[in-house]
Amino acid sequence: MEDTACNASGDSQTIFYLTGIPSLQKSLFLPVFFIFLLLYLLILLGNTLILVAVVTELSLHKPMYFFLINLSALDILFTTATVPKMLSLFLLEDRFLSFSACFLQMYLFLNITEFFILVVMAYDHYVAICRPLHYPVHMTPQTNTALAASAWITALLLPIPAVTQTSQMAFDNITYICHCFCDHLAVVQASCSDTSHQTLMGFCIAMVVSFLPLLLVLLSYAHILASVLRINSKEGSSKAFSTCSSHLLVVGTYYSSIAIAYVAYRTDLPLDFHIMGNVVYAILTPVLNPLIYTLRSKDVKAAITKIIYIETQALIRILTFKSS
């Protein structure tokens, strides 16, 4: 591939070319497309069902489910920023992205709202178990809205410096990105500029925003564990652990996917593994979140079953009317 002269910093004439998974044979593009399509549809269906169930079912109008629909909305936004382009790449070999589209995708992929929503959910469990008498006072609708809004606003603001500085780097007229989408590190590495500062800054930001929320979650659960151990009844202890189990599984899944992406980047593995590590991070948690909450939460499962039953009956009536 011939390189052209580097454009001036932040030149919007730059076109980005996504290489995809370099060693993947073209004969496998269609199977990979259908796998990603199936996963994306599961993400949309599962998270949409949770959103509809929580909004329409009055029994789910509780703080923990309010934060859950924030998580579901985030998963839909997060995957929609990256997966459709990957589907287009593998089905149509549509590899080009404009400068603005690439940086918008990078910004959305860098969004770290999920970290903060998981912290807020951990705090909700902490208040519910450790301070049950104060729960109605602490977790009012106004407080819940403020906590969720703070998580969204903070997470939307934090990536701006990294994205802005990266946009000021010099790029070729056609810049080849060794990835399936515009990941921050992949774009930085494709620049003609000195990348050491940006790479270090991106790594430091990732570590801080990943492990500070994890520390807060672990701190909340340390207090929860101490409170549960003081409960004399086995039934009370079991109920407390059951309340937290879904959230703990989501936290475990989320940080497992981050660990996979981190190991793929930092170890001396082929480029394909680096790319797939990030793809796993982009897809794994949004796919598993709805499954975890529908399988582990009887209330959510009952609400979704009710919605499916009502919609099925409505469809049967429509089909019966048309055939008569």
Q: For 73-125, what is each residue's pLDDT tens digit?
A: 988 988 898 899 999 999 988 889 989 889 998 888 877 788 888 889 889 98
Q: Hey, what are 19's tokens?
A: 């290489």
For position 317, what pLDDT does the model report?
80
Residue 116 and residue 208 in contact, taking contact as beta carbons nearer than 8 Å: no
Q: For 12-39, what is each residue's pLDDT tens digit?
A: 678 899 988 888 888 888 998 999 999 9
Residue 318 and residue 63 in contact, taking contact as beta carbons nearer than 8 Å: no
Burial class (CB in 10 A: 0-12, 13-18, 19+), 216: middle
Contacts of 278 (CB under 8 A, 6+ apart): 179, 183, 261, 264, 265
In this prediction, residues 41-48 reach a mean pLDDT of 91
Q: For 178-234, what is each residue's pLDDT tens digit?
A: 888 888 888 888 888 776 777 677 677 777 777 888 888 889 888 888 887 777 767
- What is the pTM assigned to this prediction? 0.82
Q: For 260-299, what is each residue's pLDDT tens digit?
A: 767 666 666 677 777 887 788 788 888 888 888 776 677 7
The half-sphere exposure of 310 on its side-chain side, counting CA atoms within 13 A, is: 11
Strands across the sheet with 96-98, in order? 96-98, 15-18, 174-177
Return the minimum-mean-pLDDT range out of 70-79, 114-123, 127-136, 297-306. Answer: 297-306
In this predicted structure, the answer to whether residue 246 has a pLDDT above a threshold of 90 is no
For position 10, what pLDDT does the model report?
55
For position 190, what pLDDT does the model report?
85
For position 2, what pLDDT does the model report?
44
- Which residue, 136, 127, 78, 85, is CA-closest to 107? 78
Domain range annotation of the chain: 15-323
Total residues found in the chain within this entry? 324
For position 145, what pLDDT does the model report?
93
For position 237, what pLDDT does the model report?
67
Distance separating alpha carbons of residues 187 and 61, to the nearest angstrom: 42
State the CATH architecture for 15-323. Up-down Bundle (1.20)
In this predicted structure, the answer to whether residue 60 has a pLDDT above a threshold of 50 is yes
